[in-house]
Amino acid sequence: MGSSTLQSAINTSELTSTPLVLDSVLPNISQALDGTGFIFGAGASYEAGYPMMPKLTQEIIAALDSTEQTTLYEVLDAAKITSDSDKGTPNIEELADAVIAHHTNTNEPRFKALETKFRQLILQALLSVESPDLTNHVRFFEKLKARAYGQPCTVWIWTTNYDLLLEKAASIAGVQVENGFTGTTERYFTPNTFQRVSGTLESRTFGRQTFNQDNKLVVKLIKLHGSISWCKEGDKIYERHPHAICSDAERVMIMPRRRKVMDTLISPYDSLFSLSTRVLGNQCKYLAGCGFSFSDDHINENLFFPVVNGAKCHLSVLSDYEPAAVSGIMSLPNYTGGYESHLRIKGQETKGATDLWQFSKFVELF
């Protein structure tokens, strides 16, 4: 074994000596679950059977016909972008940005058609996962429910995922989820439902009534980039079973691309972002991110980072690597980081390592 390899082995041994405990990730957890929030990205759906970005990119490129692939490589050549199909780079976000930019410059319909094809293939890739493994997600909700101790409790979840893992798992675990829609088989978007509190009115003497909040856990689920179960008809937005939405319907899903900020200025995303700014740092003061890369600048700069910078919220980031985007907040005392190579406790880098960025391990933490 060479000296550099030996030193690496020694460093790895040192780094695995310090575990990351739940109280570090969520400092409020020993007192109350209320006021807790979670941020879930693609990494939180991976173990259930959904592809990560490189594999998704490979699947989409492979599904293009020869003419579409030629069109794509024309875009890459014009942008002087080198591709590596084995690594899935550039990823589908970068490819979509390049295609959209090239269409803007040329105004040729075939480039717009390629963007549309990307959207169709992404949807197909998600719908093709017909039997995802819900084990970890069900356990997650069961553990949250147990920690609510039969008391009124609200937990907030933000996600950029389109899939329905959270909704399905919560139903199995018997946890109420509110996602901004109201109705039965035909649900319609009514964002004020996020602020509703369920309970009962009890009659008292002299005709007075008192309101008693239900003693249960309620999860407020905010899907910042839409969902495979959302569709738009005219100016109204509905939620239906994904396979009950006709093929030519407009799905309410933001295209995976880096320049998403303009997409979030229209309904329903504007309502979801406005709600989030009111909730973060007020109703939700403790956040834990798992499987979330913090690669969306519009989310970082408008939602999560301002409340961390303003000391209104504690943020814990669990990832296999330290995201470059957190460089401006990672030294703050209300920041915790857990990575494969090191830890940050109250903003200070320490020896240690964690695998809590894997959703199954994150669930075990509870």
Q: What is the pLDDT of residue 344?
A: 96
What proportion of the chain, given as a percentage, has pLDDT over 70? 92
Given 127, 156, 191, the domain boundary residue is 127
Q: What is the pLDDT of residue 345?
A: 94
CA gap 78, 85 in Å, rounded: 18
Q: Is the pLDDT of residue 108 over 90?
A: yes
CA gap 77, 272 in Å, rounded: 38
Residue 8 makes CB contacts below 8 A (sequence gap 6+) with none
Dig out the tokens for 35 from the structure.
Answer: 């006021």
Question: What is the model's pTM?
Answer: 0.90
Check whether residue 154 and residue 104 sit in a common domain.
no
Q: What is the pLDDT of residue 286?
A: 98
Write out pLDDT tens, residues 174-223. 999 999 999 988 999 999 989 888 788 787 766 678 877 777 899 999 99
Mean pLDDT of 55-60: 94
- 111: Cα separation from own chain's centroid: 29
CA gap 122, 51 in Å, rounded: 11
pLDDT band (50, 70, 90) for residue 268? very high
Check whether residue 120 and residue 249 sit in a common domain.
no
Check whether residue 113 and residue 215 sit in a common domain.
no
Q: Is the pLDDT of residue 43 over 70?
A: yes
Check whether residue 70 and residue 141 sit in a common domain.
no
Dig out the tokens for 222 from the structure.
Answer: 């905010």
Dig out the tokens for 30 from the structure.
Answer: 């020993």
Q: What is the pLDDT of residue 18?
A: 53
Q: What is the pLDDT of residue 6?
A: 31
When the pLDDT of each residue in the chain is averaged and rounded to a whole number, the result is: 90
Check whether residue 68 and residue 94 sit in a common domain.
yes
Check whether residue 201 and residue 176 sit in a common domain.
yes
Check whether residue 196 and residue 315 sit in a common domain.
yes
Sign of CA dihedral 250, 252, 255, 259: positive
Q: What is the dihedral of CA 253, 255, 256, 262, to 10 degrees?
A: -100
Among the listed residues 121, 116, 275, 127, the one whose alpha carbon sits nearest the alpha carbon of residue 196: 275
CA gap 36, 251 in Å, rounded: 30
Mean pLDDT of 241-266: 80
CB atoms within 10 A of CB 276: 21
Given 62, 92, 127, the domain boundary residue is 127
Mean pLDDT of 287-302: 94
CA gap 111, 101 in Å, rounded: 9
CATH classification at residue 188:
3.40.50.1220
Mean pLDDT of 55-73: 96
Q: Is the pLDDT of residue 259 over 60?
A: no
* Burial of residue 154 (number of CB atoms within 10 Å: 0-12, 13-18, 19+): buried
Q: How many domains does the chain have?
A: 2
Which helix or strand (DSSP H or E) is residue 199 part of? strand 199-203
Check whether residue 189 and residue 104 sit in a common domain.
no
Identify whether the C-beta of residue 308 lies closer than 8 Å to the C-beta of residue 334: yes
Q: What is the dihedral of CA 34, 287, 218, 227, to 10 degrees?
A: 170
Identify whether the C-beta of residue 150 lies closer than 8 Å to the C-beta of residue 71: no
Q: Which residues of 67-95 are buried (b: 16+ CB within 10 A; e: fewer)?
A: ebeebbebbbeebeeebeeeebbbbbbbb
Check whether residue 182 and residue 301 sit in a common domain.
yes
Check whether residue 115 and residue 233 sit in a common domain.
no
Mean pLDDT of 108-121: 94
Write out pLDDT tens, residues 141-172. 999 999 999 899 999 999 999 999 999 999 99
Q: Residues 269, 186, 145, CA angle at the centre, nearest 5°?
A: 70
CA gap 120, 205 in Å, rounded: 61
Which helix or strand (DSSP H or E) is residue 327 part of? none
Write out pLDDT tens, residues 68-78. 999 999 999 99
Which residue carries 């807790």 as its tokens? 36
Given 111, 127, 143, the domain boundary residue is 127
Check whether residue 18 and residue 82 sit in a common domain.
no
Write out pLDDT tens, residues 82-93. 999 889 899 998
Is residue 174 left, alpha or beta, with left meaning phi > 0 and alpha meaning psi from -120 to 50? left
Write out pLDDT tens, residues 312-360. 999 999 999 999 999 999 999 999 999 999 999 999 999 999 999 999 9
Residue 222 makes CB contacts below 8 A (sequence gap 6+) with 156, 157, 158, 159, 179, 180, 194, 272, 275, 276
Domain that holds residue 232: 3-50+134-364
CB atoms within 10 A of CB 335: 21
Mean pLDDT of 126-155: 95
CA gap 58, 87 in Å, rounded: 8
Check whether residue 83 and residue 162 sit in a common domain.
no
Write out pLDDT tens, residues 323-336. 999 999 999 999 99
